[in-house]
Structure 1
Amino acid sequence: MAWHRWFVYVYETALRDECGYRGYQPYWDWPKYMHAPQNSPIFNGDPYSLGGNGQYIPHNGTVITPPEGVSGGDIQLPAGVGGGYVVTGPFANMTVNLGPFGGTFGTEPGPDGGLGYNPRGLKRDVGPGVNERHCNYTTVLDLLGTPTINDYRLLSEGVPYTVEIGPHGGGHYVINGDPGGDLFTSPGDPAFWVHHGQMDRLWALWQTRDPSTRYAQLDKGTYGHITWANDPASRLAELDDIIDMGYAGPSVRIRDVMSTTSGPFCYFYQESREWVQDLREHWHESGQNFGTAGA
């Protein structure tokens, strides 16, 4: 999560410094439009959206295939209501140049193993199936109620190569398509950045429930290693380890990106009354009890 927080910041900085952007980094409140995300202000195709859904084509849902040598069977996801090229909104007929790299059944890698120049149209398959299952109000409540970062990460990321893909993977597969459904090239879809705006938002809100502990708390479980899902096996990450952005931006220590109001950052998430009300209504309906922070 610290890596993605820095990644989003580097992207926002590039928008400001290289493109003259004067706004803020938005986030996508997944559950608000979970029953029809394709009609949300993000994907409805109007001039202020991030482009529309892909044109509808009859298709089956995405199948995620574990990499060679990794245990677990294929994962069948529900189909969205698009699947074709994006032809509406600001990113209509956008050209994607990198990938595919792989990760979904039947996807052939692009030139040079997916790393070569490969211009093609942007595709999306936005729909309610994955959104309702993995990115709903219960998901948000459960995340905010987890007692430790280990629990938070396991719920957020899911169990590797099982149907429990968590809201992190779930949000990517709500967007889906090409490159949105590709683990390694998904940042090529502009919607990637608002999904990770929400990921950062929820982590920040969780941290503020116990700041004396959580601003320095790193995962010691499945997702706590310096390789993803500890594959290949590696040591646990430490606060003084370096996040290396390569050519994309400067490097930074993990400890310097743990708080949104210190180090290179100066931002916080202000919650609207509407969001708090929506959350409370679902909280009462679900009968959940958060208890006390850190309990």
Structure 2
Amino acid sequence: MELLLLLLLGFASLSVGEYAQEDIDSGKVLRDLSREAYHNAWARLEGKTEGCTQENVRVRKEWRDIPAKKRIDFVRAVNCLMSSESLNPDLEGARSRFDDFGVLHHQVSNYVHFSASFLLFHRYFTWAYEEALRNECAYEGPFPYWNWGYDAHDVESSPLFDGSATSLGSNGGCLIKGPFSNRTVNLGPGSGPDPYRYNPRCIRRDLNTAIASAWTTHRNTTDLILDSPNVELFQAIMQGDTRYPESRGLGLAVHGGGHFAIGGDPGGDFNWSPLEPAFYLHHGQVDRLYFIWQNLDWENRQNISGTATMYNRPPSDEQSLDDVMDITPLEEARTFRKLMDTIGETPFCFLYD
């Protein structure tokens, strides 16, 4: 009876083979799964009157679903961070609060990719960025994500990259037009002898539809959710982790595909990619898929898997929910357990539409 009810609502969580391929490819199945996850998370807030509630929960939205004035204000807030004083005055190249996020990512890159902390680090890191925009630069709109599938077959025409005032700027060896075309990247690149030196240069993008259409389609994202029975495989398929047969043939996979659909400098730099303003919308989508996957089977998806080092090199201990995620000075250190739930009150209180 319960399964029949879910089917009638259009919310049943089935395997890939039980959906029509055309519905997967069109994004219909992903929309249905997203709606189910939102419904399940919303229901967990029902009756709450303190902490994170249905009245105060924030809802993150796809870039094109945010009103134009709010998108322009988001760009204003990012520019504000780019003009604010760094928390790392001893580092020559760290010239702004925006740069601080790149510094932290560079420092921990070898511990937060292909490791147990990949999903929760990037959830916490992206939230810390949102908090900086709100608390230091007065941004009040929805935090945006980029649903890659909408633009997988023509990235340059995306409202995120079309160069208009409501975009994050254009394509180009240096950004040709639109927001951030007059901004500089101050740190990196990763191959330099001193990555923290001051090295100002323009933001470059190399938007790549071939990569996007291979790795970031609605089919790619939907298959990720439906083919992952546990968090170990979810993060492996998300990243194309070659240690697993299930993800060995996925190449860049959705995580790398989103990064290299943007490409350029610093967007294509493993260590310094957070210095590309679109990084946070890309990782908003990464976290959205994690949110959907978690909330389709909430009781059974409250764990982590893996060690503390990338590819377990050098070998390190398996991590547990009681281990600590330290992203100071951006935010305080917290246990993994505190970061599992986007409506868990401390620190999070947000959903994805």
The question of a shared fold, defined as TM-score above 0.5 by the shorter chain, is answered with yes
Deviations 1:101-148 (A, max 9, x none): 13xxxxxx1x51x22111110000012111011111111111111211
Do the aligned partners of 1:101 and 1:115 also contact (CA within 8 Å) in 2? no
Match of 1:194 in 2: 281
CA contact (8 A) 1:27 1:194 kept: yes
Residue 265 of structure 1 is matched in structure 2 by 348
1:94 aligned to which of 183, 205, 214 = 183
For structure 1, which segment, 225-234 or 186-195, has the greater mean C-alpha deviation from structure 2 after superposition?
Answer: 225-234
Show the counterpart of 1:61.
none
Q: Is 1:120 the equivalent of 2:201?
A: yes
1:212 aligns with 2:295: no
Q: Does 1:225 align with 2:312?
A: no
For 2:166, what is the secondary structure of its paired residue? coil
The corresponding residue for 2:166 is: 48
1:153 matched to 2:235? The reply is yes
Secondary structure of the corresponding residue to residue 350 of structure 2: coil
What does residue range 3-22 of structure 1 map to in structure 2 within 5 Å? 3-22=121-140
Tell me the secondary structure at the aligned position of residue 144 of structure 2: coil
Greater helix content: 2
- Counterpart in the other structure of 2:323: 241
C-alpha offsets along residues 267-289 of structure 1, whole Å, 9 cap, x if unaligned?
Answer: 1112xxxxxxxxxxxxxxxxxxx
Q: Does 1:132 align with 2:219?
A: no
**From 14, 39, 63, the counterpart of 2:157:** 39
Whether the 8 Å contact between 2:149 and 2:216 is mirrored in structure 1 is: yes
Q: How do residues 154-169 of structure 1 correspond to structure 2 at under 5 angstroms?
A: 154-159=236-241, 164-169=251-256
Deviations 1:154-211 (A, max 9, x none): 1101135987221111111111100000010000000000000000000000001110
Quote the Cα distance in structure 2 between the aligned partners of 1:5 and 1:178.
Answer: 23
Match of 2:35 in 1: none
Residue in structure 2 matched with residue 74 of structure 1 by the alignment: none
CA distance in 2, matches of 1:53, 1:124: 5
Query: Aligned partners of 2:336 and 2:138: how far apart in 1?
Result: 28
Residue 172 in structure 1 maps to residue 259 in structure 2: yes
In structure 1, list runs of 5 or more residues that go unmatched: 55-83, 103-108, 271-295
Amino acid in the other structure paired with 2:159 = P
CA distance in 2, matches of 1:160, 1:16: 38
Aligned-pair identity in percent equals 41
Higher mean C-alpha deviation, range 143-152 or range 200-209: 143-152
Q: Secondary structure at the match of 1:248?
A: coil
Runs of 4+ in 1 over 6 A off after TM superposition: none
> SS of the residue aligned with 1:268?
strand
Contact kept in structure 2, 1:218 and 1:238, CA below 8 Å:
yes
Q: 1:195 corresponds to which letter in structure 2?
A: H
Give the TM-score of the pair, scaled to structure 2: 0.63
Does the CA contact (< 8 Å) of 2:208 and 2:263 recur in 1?
Answer: no
Query: What SS does structure 1 have at the residue aligned with 2:199?
Result: strand
TM-score computed with the length of structure 1 as normaliser: 0.75
* 2:222 counterpart residue number: 141
Judge conservation of contact 1:159–1:165 (CA < 8 Å) in 2.
Answer: no
Alignment size in residue pairs:
228
Gaps of 5+ in 2: 1-118
Where relative contact order (Cα < 8 A, 6+ residues apart) is larger, the structure is: 2
Give, in whole Å, the separation in 1 of the partners of 2:288 and 2:199.
33
Mapped to 2, the partners of 1:27 and 1:229 lie a distance apart of 28
Q: State the match for 2:43 in structure 1.
A: none
User: Is the CA contact 1:160–1:229 (under 8 Å) kept in the aligned structure 2?
Assistant: no
Q: Does 1:183 align with 2:270?
A: yes
Instruction: Name the aligned partner's letter for residue 236 of structure 1.
Output: E
SS in 2 for 1:247: coil
Q: Could you tell me whether the CA contact under 8 Å between 2:205 and 2:263 is conserved in 1?
A: yes
Offset at 1:4? 0.3
Cα separation, 2, equivalents of 1:27 and 1:200: 9
| Cα displacement string for residues 62-88 of structure 1 (whole angstroms, at most 9, x for unaligned residues) | xxxxxxxxxxxxxxxxxxxxxx11021
